[in-house]
């Protein structure tokens, strides 16, 4: 049901293999702030591989003799990868350096204290170091697509991870939410996963429509804008200064993450979104019934510090870049490279 998104710079002309080994996919979380060094929450800087973030939380809870609900995290990191991320442990009245337990399933790289629990979406960005294999050539078409990503940004699609390995999270969500008995039996995490899949599907459909109609590299009347590197949104009529900032990637148009609230959109932007949403009455009804709260998401993401090294002898493409939280590396790749059935969803 989610369907294949439409990308703004043409179809990929090359293919490659992603995640042939965990070491080929490295992710480092950037909090964007320094823990205070005091407080009741012990921040742990951890490197893991072959564990989901939820698996990691269960291991840490056991190792440090705390309850899993007292452990905070900011971002969910891939299992089939080498990732570094922060966790927080609530340890009231214990602000001393903790004894490091005997750990074998992950690496504890550092620890410090802070006065607040780590919450989902707290971190600023993720830094990626990725090797894509079986990339024999890097033709001019691909280089041009990469140049366009640098100058115009990338389509900020939700990645396939949101929709499940079998691409069926949307169908599962509708099946669960249309029956009150089934809906009540959902765990909090499963309910959150399903609501995210529904909203992500609507967002991706609207973004594809904008790209299809040519509203990608320019704003349209009635747009609500989001500042790059920030979640701040604002409405302003189109003018030369706004268009210049848009071209410079200082801000981007936004699309609704559907739910209860005022969308703020007007004129052409509102009409375009309504035309797409009209085809998804069942999804909209589920989101309203489950009291999902409206939010806005930028149509574009910036690939900061994008750097590539292609080794034709080894047929490898080494990619380094930083993406703001909530943006997907796999969506970046989809702009210029087909990874086929790589292990990108593990």
Question: Is residue 88 a contact partner of residue 43, using CB atoms and an 8 Å limit?
Answer: yes
99's enclosing H/E stretch is: none
Residue 55 in any domain: the answer is yes
Taking the alpha carbons of 225, 173, 189, 55 in that order, is the dihedral positive or negative? Answer: negative
Residue 143 in any domain: the answer is no
- Of 123-127, 178-182, 295-299, which gets the smallest average pLDDT? 178-182
Residue 277 in any domain: the answer is yes
Q: What is the pLDDT of residues 213-272, one digit of tens each?
A: 999 889 999 999 999 988 899 999 999 999 999 999 999 999 999 999 988 899 999 999
Residue 11 in any domain: the answer is no
Question: Is residue 61 a contact partner of residue 55, using CB atoms and an 8 Å limit?
Answer: no
pLDDT of residue 164: 81
pLDDT of residue 239: 96
Domain hosting residue 43, numbered range: 33-122
Given 95, 122, 149, the domain boundary residue is 122
Residue 151 in any domain: the answer is no
Residue 102 sits in the same domain as residue 165: no
Catalytic residues: 78
Q: Which CATH number does the domain housing residue 45 bear?
A: 3.30.2350.20
Question: Is residue 76 a contact partner of residue 53, using CB atoms and an 8 Å limit?
Answer: yes
Residue 118 sits in the same domain as residue 164: no
Residue 174 sits in the same domain as residue 275: yes
- Distance in angstroms (rounded) separating the CA atoms of residues 336 and 141: 9
Taking the alpha carbons of 235, 241, 244, 248 in that order, is the dihedral positive or negative? Answer: negative
Q: What is the pLDDT of residues 84-112, one digit of tens each?
A: 999 999 998 776 656 667 788 999 999 99
Question: Is residue 309 a contact partner of residue 122, using CB atoms and an 8 Å limit?
Answer: no
pLDDT of residue 95: 67
Residue 9 in any domain: the answer is no
Domain count, the chain: 2
Q: What is the pLDDT of residues 141-152, one digit of tens each?
A: 999 999 999 999
Mean pLDDT for all residues in the chain: 91
CB atoms within 10 A of CB 208: 18
Residue 106 sits in the same domain as residue 205: no
Residue 78 sits in the same domain as residue 198: no
Residue 319 in any domain: the answer is no
Q: Which CATH number does the domain housing residue 277 bear?
A: 3.30.2340.10
Residue 59 sits in the same domain as residue 166: no
pLDDT of residue 96: 63
Residue 103 sits in the same domain as residue 166: no
Top pLDDT among 111 and 184 is at 111
Residue 197 sits in the same domain as residue 254: yes
Residue 308 in any domain: the answer is no
- Distance in angstroms (rounded) separating the CA atoms of residues 124 and 103: 28
pLDDT of residue 344: 41
**Is this model's pTM higher than 0.75 or not?**
yes
């Amino acid at each position: 049901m989610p369907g294949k998104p439409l990308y703004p710079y043409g179809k990929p002309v090359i293919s490659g293999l992603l995640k042939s080994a965990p070491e080929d996919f490295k992710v480092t979380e950037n909090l964007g702030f320094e823990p205070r060094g005091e407080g009741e929450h012990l921040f742990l800087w951890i490197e893991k591989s072959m564990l989901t973030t939820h698996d990691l939380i269960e291991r840490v809870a056991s190792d440090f003799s705390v309850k899993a609900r007292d452990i905070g995290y900011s971002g969910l990191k891939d299992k089939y990868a080498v990732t570094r991320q922060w966790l927080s442990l609530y340890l009231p009245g214990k602000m001393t350096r903790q004894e490091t337990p005997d750990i074998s399933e992950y690496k504890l790289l550092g620890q410090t204290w802070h006065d607040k629990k780590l919450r989902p979406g707290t971190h600023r960005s993720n830094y990626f170091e990725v090797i894509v294999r079986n990339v024999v050539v890097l033709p001019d078409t691909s280089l041009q697509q990469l140049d366009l990503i640098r100058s115009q940004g990338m389509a900020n699609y939700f990645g396939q991870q949101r929709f499940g390995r079998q691409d069926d999270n949307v169908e599962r969500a509708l099946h669960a939410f249309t029956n009150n008995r089934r809906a009540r039996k959902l765990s909090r995490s499963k309910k959150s996963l399903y609501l995210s899949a529904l909203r992500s599907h609507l967002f991706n459909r609207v973004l594809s429509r904008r790209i299809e109609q040519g509203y990608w590299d320019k704003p349209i009347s009635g747009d609500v804008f989001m500042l790059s590197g920030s979640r701040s949104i604002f409405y302003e009529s189109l003018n030369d200064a706004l268009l210049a900032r848009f071209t410079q990637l200082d801000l981007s148009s936004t699309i609704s993450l559907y739910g209860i609230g005022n969308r703020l959109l007007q004129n052409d932007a509102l009409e375009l979104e309504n035309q797409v949403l009209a085809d998804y009455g069942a999804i909209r009804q589920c989101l309203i019934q489950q009291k999902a709260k409206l939010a806005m998401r930028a149509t574009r993401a910036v690939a900061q510090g994008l750097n590539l090294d292609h080794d034709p002898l080894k047929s490898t493409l080494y990619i380094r870049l930083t993406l703001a939280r909530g943006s997907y590396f796999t969506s970046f790749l989809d702009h210029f490279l087909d990874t086929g059935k790589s292990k990108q969803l593990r």
